Amino acid sequence: MNQILKFSGVELYYDHVYALKGVSIEVNEGETVALIGANGAGKSSILRAITGLRKIRTGEIHYSGKRIDGVSPDAIVKMGIAMVPEGRRVFPYMSVKDNLLMGAFTRSDKAEIARSLEMVLGRFPRLKERYSQAAGTMSGGEQQMLVIGRALMSKPRLLLLDEPSLGVAPKLVQDIARSIVAINRDEKVSVLLVEQNSRMALRISQRAYALTTGAVALSGVSSELLNDERVKKLYLGGEL
């Protein structure tokens, strides 16, 4: 299986406090890989390092065989990596349609952009219903669907999701979980999923890494980790 992301021995600091301490993870083409762990374990720091939003101190990050630590965030987007940050950052006064089109700002293939738009609206029927509505007037779950849809408009090969279930009503958490599975399966997009809802993350991923205080504590096949007593005790608080 081809590797799309390799994160090797990475150390990252905020001022003099370490956030990542020699972390190594990998994502293969077509996989969904979950990062689970408590707040402050370093999960989001991994995503910030991949996207160039935080400079790493040591280690290397490779995407599709090319080294990308040190590459600018906008160049990383153009290479095919899209990130959905925590906190549903929509453009509140713009319509759903215009929010989605903002995701295609690096593209100029109009016919393909129209096809991507059709795909996103098919994937998230609620966005079609709210197409002309101002994004800021939608519910938290609907806004989360919008930011995932906007990321897909950049036609990524690797999608980074930071806490997509946070603050979302349980019914919509299930919808979002199903959409992540479908995006990975049907659009052939590799996914790196950061989640505190560990049960959900392990159910929809193939492999997972459990982090504690900036280091990988456990890793393995998600279905096996779901039944691992250590994981049950430490991480399985969330319900799906």
* CA pair distance 97, 2, nearest whole angstrom: 35
Q: What is the DSSP letter of 134?
A: B
pLDDT, mean over the chain = 91
Q: What's the pLDDT band for 232 if we cut at 50, 70, 90?
A: confident
Distances (CA, A) of 50 to 72, 125, 129, 160: 10, 31, 34, 9
Instruction: Note the pLDDT tens digit of each residue in 134-175.
Output: 999 999 889 999 999 999 999 999 999 999 988 888 888 898
Band of pLDDT at residue 18, cut at 50, 70 and 90? confident
Give one DSSP letter per residue of 40-73, joined into a string.
TSSHHHHHHHHTTSS--SEEEEEETTEE-TTS-H
Model confidence pTM above 0.75: yes
Q: State the pLDDT at residue 238.
A: 45
Extract the tokens encoding 198: 């560990």
What confidence score (pLDDT) does residue 237 get?
56
- What is residue 86's predicted lDDT score, i.e. its pLDDT? 83
Residue 239 has pLDDT above 60, yes or no: no
For residue 73, the Cα-to-chain-centroid distance in whole angstroms is: 15
Give the residue with greater pLDDT, 107 vs 84: 84
Q: Is the pLDDT of residue 74 over 50?
A: yes
pLDDT for the residue numbered 7: 94
- What is the topology classification, in CATH, of domain 3-86+156-234? Rossmann fold (3.40.50)
| Per-residue pLDDT at 196 | 84
